Amino acid sequence: MTPSQPLALGLAALVALAACKPNEMPQAEEGRRLFVESCALCHGPSGRGDGPASDGLTPPPADLTRIAARNGGVFPRAKVLSTLDGYTRTDLDGPGMPEFGDLLRGDLVPLDVGDGILTPTPRRLVALMQYLEGIQR
Ligand code: HEC
């Protein structure tokens, strides 16, 4: 390293710090707001699949309060995340659950989906997932 390199690295770190907002985990209210905006139309205000646009939809919108119950009592974080961002889905052209790639934009926050590893994950996606996790019954 030349003498100026540590300084340059320090500056780069400072610039990077200034450019990003603190990676705070989203609060429940943020997820609820996103849900009302983007999901309640089909899944209903309480998430039970009875939104105003659910009539006649085939397949019907899923009851989102029973995701864990349908999965042996465990909330499948990774699966829910990929349902939302459309990443692993092959059925995007047909009827059913639309993709919300928009949720991928914005800040990243560290999230453990159950494998013990903190993965930087789009904040709005995390907010929604946490909201869904909180309405399980
Ligand atoms: C246009 C109607 C519509 C909208 C809007 C919609 N969904 Fe869905 N969603 C569906 C339908 C229909 C299904 C069930 C069929 C399927 O899986 O394709 C579904 C399935 C799901 C599933 C899978 C449930 C399971 O047990 O596997 C999740 C999770 C989900 N939606 C979450 C959301 C969230 C969160 C939003 C808002 C960001 C949202 N949906 C917006 C129609 C919709």
Would you place residue 12 in the very low, low, confident or very high pLDDT band (cuts 50, 70, 90)?
low
Q: What is the pLDDT of residues 18-50, one digit of tens each?
A: 455 556 788 889 999 999 999 999 999 999 999
Cα of 118 from ligand 1 centre, angstroms: 26
Q: Is the CB of 38 under 6 A from ligand 1?
A: yes
Q: How many CA atoms lie within 13 A of 116 on its CB side?
A: 0
Q: Is the CB of 128 under 6 A from ligand 1?
A: yes
Q: Please give the Cα distance from 110 to 119 (Å, whole number).
A: 5
To which residue do tokens 């996790």 refer?
133
Tokens describing residue 75: 């909330």
Q: Are 81 and 121 in contact (CB under 8 A)?
A: yes
Q: What is the pLDDT of residues 58-86, one digit of tens each?
A: 889 999 999 999 999 999 999 999 888 87
Mean pLDDT computed over every residue of the chain: 85
Give the lowest-confidence range in 3-12, 72-81, 122-131: 3-12
Listed residue (10, 26, 43) closest to 125, CA to CA: 26
Q: Please give the Cα distance from 135 to 60 (Å, whole number).
A: 19
Q: How far is CA 29 from the centre of its chain?
A: 14
Q: What pLDDT shows up at residue 125?
A: 92
Query: Is pLDDT at 112 greater than 80 in this prediction?
Result: yes
